[in-house]
Amino acid sequence: MAKLFGSIDKISKPVVFILTVLFVILLGIIDYATGEDFSFYIFYVIPVLFIVWYGGKWQGLVISFLCLVSWYIDSFIGRPEIPNYLAFYWNMLLQLGFFLILIFILASLKNAVEKQKQIEKEKIRREFEIAAQVQDKLFPQEKPGIKSLDYFGICKPAEAVGGDYYDYFKIKEDEIVFAIGDIAGHGISSALLMAGLVGFVRSNATIYRDKLNEFMNKINRLMCSSTDGSKFATFFYSIYNETDRSLKFINAGHNPPLLYRRKTNAFSELKTNGFIIGAIPDIKYQERAEILEDKDILIFYTDGITEAFDTKDDLYGTDRMKDVICKSMNMNAKEICNEILKSVNIYSTGKQQADDMTLLVIKIKN
Task: State how far the Cα of 20 lies from the Cα of 16, in Å rounded to an integer.
Answer: 6
Question: b/e for 289-298, b at 16 or more Cβ within 10 A?
Answer: ebebeeebbb
pLDDT in tens, 250-263: 999 999 999 999 99
Q: Please say whether the beta carbons of 191 and 159 come within 8 A.
A: no
Average pLDDT, the chain: 86
Question: b/e for 198-207, b at 16 or more Cβ within 10 A?
Answer: bebbeeebee
What pairing do the DSSP bridges indicate for beta strands 233-241 and 246-252? antiparallel
pLDDT in tens, 32-69: 777 665 566 677 788 888 888 888 888 888 888 888 78
pLDDT score at 151: 96
Q: At what angle do helices 57-76 and 85-138 cross, to 10 degrees?
A: 150
Confidence grade of residue 186 (pLDDT, cut at 50, 70, 90): low
Q: Please say whether the beta carbons of 165 and 181 come within 8 A.
A: yes
Task: State how far the Cα of 87 lies from the Cα of 84, in Å rounded to an integer.
Answer: 6
The CATH homologous superfamily to which domain 139-364 belongs is PPM-type phosphatase domain (3.60.40.10)
Task: State how far the Cα of 75 lies from the Cα of 80, in Å rounded to an integer.
Answer: 8
Beta-bridge partner residues of 267: 260
pLDDT score at 329: 94
pLDDT in tens, 108-121: 888 888 888 888 88
Confidence grade of residue 76 (pLDDT, cut at 50, 70, 90): low
| Nearest residue to 270 (alpha-carbon basis) of 184, 362, 151, 173 | 362
Each domain of the chain, given as residue ranges in start order, spans 2-131, 139-364
pLDDT score at 68: 78
Beta-bridge partner residues of 252: 235, 274
Task: State how far the Cα of 25 lies from the Cα of 118, in Å rounded to an integer.
Answer: 36
As a whole-number percent, the residues of the chain with pLDDT over 90 amount to 43
Note the pTM of the prediction, 2 decimals: 0.72
Q: Please say whether the beta carbons of 153 and 360 come within 8 A.
A: yes
Instruction: Spell out the residues 6+ positions from residue 29 whose beta carbon is closer than 8 angstroms to its own.
Output: none
Neighbours of 1 (CB within 10 A): 5
Sheet containing 246-252: give its strands across: 164-172, 175-183, 233-241, 246-252, 288-291
| Nearest residue to 155 (alpha-carbon basis) of 357, 298, 362 | 357
Q: Could you give the count of Cα atoms lying within 13 Å of 41 in the half-sphere of its Cβ?
A: 15
| Nearest residue to 233 (alpha-carbon basis) of 308, 177, 305, 180 | 180
Confidence grade of residue 83 (pLDDT, cut at 50, 70, 90): low
Residue 317 has pLDDT above 70, yes or no: yes
Q: Please say whether the beta carbons of 344 and 304 come within 8 A.
A: no
pLDDT score at 11: 73
